[in-house]
Amino acid sequence: MSERVIVALSGGVDSAVAALLLKRAGHAVEALHMSNWEADEDGYCTAAADWQAARAVADELGVTLHRVSFAAEYRERVFREFLDDYRAGRTPNPDVLCNREVKFGVCLDYARRLGATRLATGHYARLDTGAGGPRLLRARDTDKDQSYFLQQMPRAALGSALFPLGELVKGEVRELARRAGLPVHDRPDSTGICFIGERPFRAFLSEHLAPLPGPIETADGVRIGTHQGLMFHTIGQRQGLGIGGQRANSGEAWYVAAKDVGRNVLIAVQGHDHPLLLSREFATGPVRWLGTPPAAEFECGIQVRHRQADVPARVHWSAAGARLTLAAPLRAVAPGQYAAFYRDDQCLGGAAIAAADAVERSTPQTAASA
């Protein structure tokens, strides 16, 4: 059945092919290019080039292109939380928040005001619209699957979303674009966080949060170096510690194992799989379910970062949050990351990690030691 669909046209090949497929399917397609960050003048922001690429695609497809800025909403709902998380020692994922607050929040509302019944994006994910209501599924292309980033979508938005690329692999998408003569068929994929782009992360963060140097200690409390700010480090990180080999130690590489925000101390250990880097249990904040919530205790697969294989887990949850016990230890579970809950290919929902218990730690690792 033909519908009036707005495609979120970013200027990349994925959203361009999403629009192409929907138009070929007979839908009344219009496009919407949104900017979520005010363009800067340092050469890192690609907003101007993205807009020109989106215009070229819309012209080639013969679809109306709308343009809107959600920069104010993005700063309030995404960027502010991003900074708050880093300030508290957590490791945030702004892409998850952007999908929840902007793409399937204010952008979906805007598309509806334009008269659309659906908002389509170039995400690699699938939707199943069976009798039990819409379900979010992994994409056919498991390497590109982006259901992890959609785990926090408002439940009500699932019924208004379309993911035309869900059954395709990336190579097929580029070939479709090339054959259709789309001018972005060979445009490189965007990388990094949208408002940072390719700029040095530490320099960007320093523009918004004041660095606070402090000691680097071993798990036994021995000082071995100085960090420039806990915000510059995440659990499991190897690069950038500046401590090298230490006399009377093993000579193995050093990794960030914990942050003691109260004391402003970074705790480092030696060895990629040190027990303090491994967790069998962790707790989350409140869970956002994409469908009918499961029983208070159930088993599922857990994914704590993009492209990571599921780990079987037993989940105990309530309105306050969830406690997960893993079948096998996960490395570098960091407060602030999102945990997605899966049953086979279905994403059930997700939650932000609040605290993780290391295999060998008497107290849980929390972002703020509180």
* 207 pLDDT more than 60: yes
CATH number at residue 164: 3.40.50.620
Q: What is the pLDDT of residue 43?
A: 56
* 165 pLDDT more than 90: yes
- Determine the average pLDDT of the residues in 272-283: 96
Taking residue 367's Cβ as centre, other Cβ atoms within 10 Å add up to 25
* 364 pLDDT more than 60: no
DSSP state of 232: G
Least confident of 1-5, 32-36, 62-66: 1-5
Look at the chain and report how many structural domains it folds into.
Answer: 3
Q: At what angle do helices 13-24 and 170-179 cross, to 10 degrees?
A: 70
Q: Where are the beta strands (DSSP E) in 159-296?
A: 161-162, 214-217, 223-227, 254-260, 265-270, 278-284, 288-289
30, containing H or E segment: strand 28-35
Q: How confident is the model at residue 235 (pLDDT cuts 50, 70, 90)?
A: very high
DSSP state of 140: S
Residue 98 annotated as catalytic: yes
- Determine the average pLDDT of the residues in 65-85: 95
Give percent above pLDDT 70 in the chain: 90
Q: What is the pLDDT of residue 369?
A: 33
Q: At what angle do helices 13-24 and 47-61 cross, to 10 degrees?
A: 20
Q: Are residues 310 and 220 in the same domain?
A: no
* 31 pLDDT more than 90: yes
Kindly state whether residue 81 falls inside one of the protein's structural domains: yes
Question: How does strand 118-120 pair with strand 4-8?
Answer: parallel
Q: How confident is the model at residue 199 (pLDDT cuts 50, 70, 90)?
A: low
Nearest CA among 158, 138, 127 for reference residue 341: 138
CATH number at residue 260: 2.30.30.280
Choose the catalytic residue: 45, 107, 194, 347: 194
Q: Are residues 165 and 44 in the same domain?
A: yes
Least confident of 32-41, 46-55, 121-130, 272-281: 32-41
Kindly state whether residue 187 falls inside one of the protein's structural domains: no
Q: What is the pLDDT of residue 358?
A: 85
Nearest CA among 213, 209, 258 for reference residue 85: 209
Residue 194 annotated as catalytic: yes
Q: What is the pLDDT of residue 82?
A: 94
CATH number at residue 289: 2.40.30.10
For 249, the domain range is 210-272
Paired tokens of 356? 């993780």
Q: Are residues 118 and 259 in the same domain?
A: no
Kindly state whether residue 152 falls inside one of the protein's structural domains: yes
* 366 pLDDT more than 50: no
Paired tokens of 157? 């938005």
* 149 pLDDT more than 80: yes
Least confident of 118-127, 191-200, 257-266: 191-200
* 285 pLDDT more than 90: yes
Mean pLDDT, all residues of the chain? 91
Q: Which residue did the predictor score with more confidence, 199 or 212?
A: 212
Q: Are residues 246 and 354 in the same domain?
A: no
* 362 pLDDT more than 50: no
Least confident of 180-184, 187-191, 205-209: 187-191
Q: Are residues 308 and 264 in the same domain?
A: no
**Contact, 96 vs 48, CB < 8 A?**
no
Paired tokens of 262? 């109260």
* 329 pLDDT more than 70: yes
Helix spans in the chain (H)? 13-24, 47-61, 71-74, 80-87, 94-98, 107-113, 170-179, 201-206
Least confident of 38-42, 67-71, 296-300, 360-364: 360-364
Nearest CA among 89, 35, 42 for reference residue 266: 89
Q: Are residues 13 and 154 in the same domain?
A: yes
Nearest CA among 126, 125, 120, 76 for reference residue 102: 76
Choose the catalytic residue: 98, 107, 300, 347: 98
Note the pLDDT tens digit of each residue in 252-272: 899 999 999 999 999 999 999
- What are the DSSP calls for 295-344, one per residue? -SEEEEEEE-STTPPPEEEEEEEETTEEEEEEEEEEE---TT-EEEEEET
Cα 112 off chain centre by: 25
* 217 pLDDT more than 90: yes
Paired tokens of 333? 């579970």
Q: Are residues 268 and 280 in the same domain?
A: no
Residue 107: which residues within 8 A CB-CB, separation 6 or more?
Answer: 8, 32, 34, 68, 70, 119
